[in-house]
């Protein structure tokens, strides 16, 4: 076993739009056989939800404990001076559409008592008809949009974009968006849990009642000029570089030995598909691990037992 990798216990979240993909696709043991799980929080540092280290030197410690007490040792130098680890990484299983929603831009968060959330999606699984929703149709202005909220017919006014396995989408705070049905997504985001729902497709929540909508907050938060997502498909290289996180992708053929070059700070690795070995540890689809700060190592070498895809997430160093 590679001694210095850090693995965390996932936290599963029931969602009205969820399913059982974590069990069916990733062979996980879920807490309750009768629950539809929509999210698996893999790396999280929030007051009510803490990732806990599985084993090794830091076994039993929370992510927040590592961030507060072992920051330079585990994460490195030049990182944001904040009280919580600044990212949240999760897997989403959308058997049904998610609500049409928006996350507020940073400039409005104090007024709205909210948190900003810029995020990236990587499509791990998708049906032939899968789409994501992003922005408004051409010719739909803010006033028309407000009217369609009141009339409950938003669907015709929102753009949809077909997606397939291997696509990535960047979603800045302020964009109007939703995940369509039949999709499994790896999500990398700012550490935020603020979502303003605009429209919920006229469905009921798990309690049998309509879920709360946030019309006023949504209208304040939506960037009505942002109607086309940054999206694409790439096998190797940088996917997203933004002020909050950088995400790179590495695709290996069966039998490949390939190195991910790195700087000395930590990185989080996600095995999106396949099976790889790192040292004498083996990782399969859906596995996450953190490789800590290491000034002696400038690359991480993986061996692929079969075709595999790996995402790497890092945080840009703060320029002083």
Residue 10: exposure state from Cβ atoms within 10 A (0-12, 13-18, ≥19)? buried
CATH 2.60.120.10 fits 11-233, yes or no: yes
Q: What is the predicted pLDDT for the residue at 3?
A: 58
User: CATH code for 237-314?
Assistant: 2.60.120.10
Q: What is the pLDDT of residues 307-319, one digit of tens each?
A: 999 999 999 988 6
Domain with CATH 2.60.120.10 in the chain: 11-233, 237-314
Token pair 């939703």: residue: 178
Cβ-Cβ contacts under 8 Å for 252 (sequence gap 6 or more): 258, 274, 276, 302, 304, 307, 308, 309, 310
CA 216 – CA 102 distance, rounded (Å): 12
Q: Is residue 197 annotated as a catalytic residue, yes or no?
A: yes
Q: What is the pTM of this model?
A: 0.96
Rounded distance between C-alpha atoms, residue 158 and residue 140, angstroms: 9
Q: Which of 20, 95, 197, 211 is catalytic?
A: 197
Q: Tens of pLDDT along the chain (320 residues)? A: 455 899 999 999 999 999 999 999 999 999 999 999 999 999 999 999 999 999 999 999 999 999 999 999 999 999 999 999 999 999 999 999 999 999 999 999 999 999 999 999 999 999 999 999 999 999 999 999 999 888 878 888 999 999 999 999 999 999 999 999 999 999 999 999 999 999 998 888 888 898 999 999 999 999 999 999 999 999 999 999 999 999 999 999 999 999 888 888 999 999 999 999 998 899 999 999 999 999 888 888 999 999 999 999 999 988 66
Is 86 exposed, middle or buried, given 0-12, 13-18 or 19+ CB atoms closer than 10 A?
A: middle
pLDDT of residue 320: 61
The two three-digit tokens of residue 30, written as one number: 């879920």
Q: CB within 8 A of 310, min separation 6: which ones? A: 249, 250, 251, 252, 260, 269, 270, 271, 272, 276, 302
**Sheet with 100-102, side-by-side order of all strands:** 158-162, 131-136, 177-179, 100-102, 196-199
The pair of structure tokens assigned to 1 is: 């076993």
Give start and end residues of each alpha helix (H) in 152-224: 215-221
The residue whose two tokens read 């699984």 is 125
In this structure, the strands spanning 299-314 and 246-252 are antiparallel
DSSP 35-70: --EEEEEEE-EETTEE-BB-SSTTTT-BHHHHHHHS
For residue range 62-103, list pLDDT tens digits in order: 999 999 999 999 999 999 999 999 999 999 999 999 999 999
């Amino acid at each position: 076993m590679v001694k210095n990798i850090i693995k965390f216990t996932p936290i599963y979240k029931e969602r009205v739009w969820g399913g059982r993909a974590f069990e069916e696709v990733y062979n996980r043991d879920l807490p309750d056989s009768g629950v539809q799980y929509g999210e698996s929080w893999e790396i999280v540092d929030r007051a009510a939800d803490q990732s806990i280290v599985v084993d090794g030197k830091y076994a039993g410690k929370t992510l927040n404990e590592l961030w507060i007490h072992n920051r330079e040792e585990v994460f490195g130098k030049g990182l944001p001076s904040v009280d919580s680890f600044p990212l949240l990484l999760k897997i989403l299983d959308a058997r049904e559409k998610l609500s049409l929603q928006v996350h507020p831009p940073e400039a409005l968060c104090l007024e709205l008592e909210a948190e900003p959330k810029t995020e990236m999606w990587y499509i791990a699984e998708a049906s032939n008809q899968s789409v994501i929703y992003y922005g408004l149709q051409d010719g739909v202005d803010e006033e028309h949009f407000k009217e369609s909220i009141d009339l409950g017919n938003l669907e015709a006014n929102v753009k949809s974009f077909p997606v397939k396995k291997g696509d990535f989408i960047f979603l800045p705070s302020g964009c109007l968006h939703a995940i369509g049905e039949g999709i499994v997504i790896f999500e990398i985001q700012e550490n935020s849990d603020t979502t303003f729902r605009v429209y919920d497709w006229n469905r009921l929540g798990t309690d049998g009642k309509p879920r709360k909508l946030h019309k006023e907050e949504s209208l304040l938060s939506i960037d009505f000029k942002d109607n086309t997502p940054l999206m694409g498909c790439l096998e190797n290289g940088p996917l997203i570089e933004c002020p909050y996180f950088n995400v790179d992708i590495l695709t290996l053929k069966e039998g490949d030995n390939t190195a991910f070059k790195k700087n000395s700070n930590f990185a989080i690795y996600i095995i999106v598909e396949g099976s790889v070995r790192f040292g004498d540890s083996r990782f399969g689809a859906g596995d996450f691990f953190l490789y800590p700060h290491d000034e002696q190592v400038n690359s991480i070498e993986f061996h692929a037992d079969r075709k595999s895809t790996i995402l790497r997430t890092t945080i840009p160093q703060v320029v002083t």
